[in-house]
Amino acid sequence: MASPRGLPISSFIVLTLFTFLPNPATSLRTSFIKLPGSDGSLRSSAADTYCESWRLAAETNNAGTWDVIPSTCVDSVAGYLNGDQYGSDYGVIADYALAFAKTVQVSGDGKDAWIFDIDETLLTNLDYYKAHGYGSEPFESNSFNEWVVGGTAPAFEASLRLYNALKELGFTIVLLTGRDEHQRSVTETNLRDAGYSGWERLLLRGPEDQGKSATKYKSEQRSKLIEEGFKIRGNTGDQWSDLLGFAVADRSFKVPNPMYYIP
């Protein structure tokens, strides 16, 4: 069979293919079809995916001990903390905690206790960490203590809602924080200004607690409460060291905090 103009069929096919093949010089300069990642989005997407996975590992205590967030994840963590997801995650956990609390038979003797941590649990220090790289900078105690003394940390809306609901259910509220005893007055004032009231105890680190890990210190404080006859029904904190160890609560609720880790 002959092709138009009498060319052999094989020559016609080759000629046709060359007609539709792009000019190499043109294809190097101009991309008519934008391939995935050709504008750098693939790299950004991969980083975002990794950072979400890292945050999950950190929240579930699978990342182990870590000092600062990965440098590639600063924007991801900032986006999470300043976006809607952070508040939504907090709200869902508060809802689960309250649902559990409603199943507890509160005795009415004042011994059914619910423990709260303070920083990143009742009060948010996000404004401080915004100025310090969202946890990408090593913790500096002097500057953080200056922030604490300022006493301007606001409440988490979900935590305040949970806190007040637990009081209405008859739980005795105990606040157990890693802050030092000399910060008692400013801490109490900040809590009240943020809307909290009616706690039974505010437990802070004394001189004898300096140098102890948070897990050991908080376990010891919970143990003392149990020795006094308290039944620790629930515990809410942003660190695993708020919740683990010995003398643990019947149920513990970990709220999100991708900015720092305290062993």
**pLDDT (tens digit, 9 = 90+) per residue, 66-78?**
999 999 999 999 9
Structural domain spans, the chain: 46-254
- So what's the pLDDT on residue 83? 97
Round to whole Å and give the CA distance between 155 and 230: 26
- Is residue 158 within 8 Å of residue 87, measured between CB atoms? yes
Q: What angle do CA 239, 244, 249 make, to 5 degrees?
A: 105
**Pairing assessment for the beta strands 112-116 and 231-237 based on DSSP bridges:** parallel
pLDDT tens-digit readout, 32-68: 344 333 343 435 788 899 999 999 999 999 999 999 9
CATH of domain 46-254: 3.40.50.1000
Q: Average pLDDT, stretch 72-93? A: 97
pTM exceeds 0.85, yes or no: no
Burial class for 61, CB neighbours closer than 10 Å (0-12, 13-18, 19+): middle
pLDDT at 45: 86
**What confidence score (pLDDT) does residue 43 get?**
57
